[in-house]
Amino acid sequence: MRFAMCATNSFLKSLGVEIYASGHRRWPDEAKALAVSMTLEAGATVNAVAERFGILPNQLSAWRREAKQGKLVLPAAEVEEPVFAPLVVCEVAEEEARPEVTSQAAPIRIIRGLL
């Protein structure tokens, strides 16, 4: 478990999290926003993301609440560049001869008041 904690600390330091000897951590808004945005990805759970960041799920839920209230700004979603679909223009084909459909419909009589 000690190896995992070291890996977590180095991961957090790479995000700019200040870790004090007492165990207290100061989280920059960018690191909070990253954690919250990771919970919004397909298939992600608050518990899994919280574990990766070494925090309790309720702390991450509080950050999500801040983001929902507009107190924490999330990074913009990556938008793919628009692409153009190729357009293929074909010559108009002559209409094919369609077989003529004829029917001999029988007249229908409706008699009211029999029932």
**Residue-wise pLDDT tens digits, 89-115:** 777 767 666 667 677 777 777 778 766
How much of the chain is in helix, strand and coil states, percent to nearest 5? 40, 5, 60
| Domain CATH code at residue 38 | 1.10.10
Q: Does the model's pTM come out above 0.85?
A: no
113 falls within a domain: no
Return the pLDDT at 106.
Answer: 78
Total count of domains within the chain: 1
108 falls within a domain: no
Return the pLDDT at 2.
Answer: 41
Return the pLDDT at 114.
Answer: 65
pLDDT digits (tens, 9 = 90+) for 10-36: 889 999 999 999 989 999 999 999 999
pLDDT digits (tens, 9 = 90+) for 53-98: 999 999 999 999 999 999 998 877 777 778 787 777 777 767 666 6
CA dihedral 27, 9, 49, 39 (to 10 degrees): 40
Selected residue with higher pLDDT from 4 and 67: 67
49 falls within a domain: yes
Return the pLDDT at 102.
Answer: 73
25 falls within a domain: yes
38 falls within a domain: yes
Q: Which residues neighbour 30 within 8 Å (Cβ) at sequence distance 6 or greater? A: 15, 16
* Cα R_g (the chain), whole angstroms: 33
Return the pLDDT at 115.
Answer: 61
26 falls within a domain: yes
32 falls within a domain: yes
Q: Look up the domain containing 9 and give its range.
A: 2-68
Indicate if the pLDDT at residue 38 is higher than 60.
yes
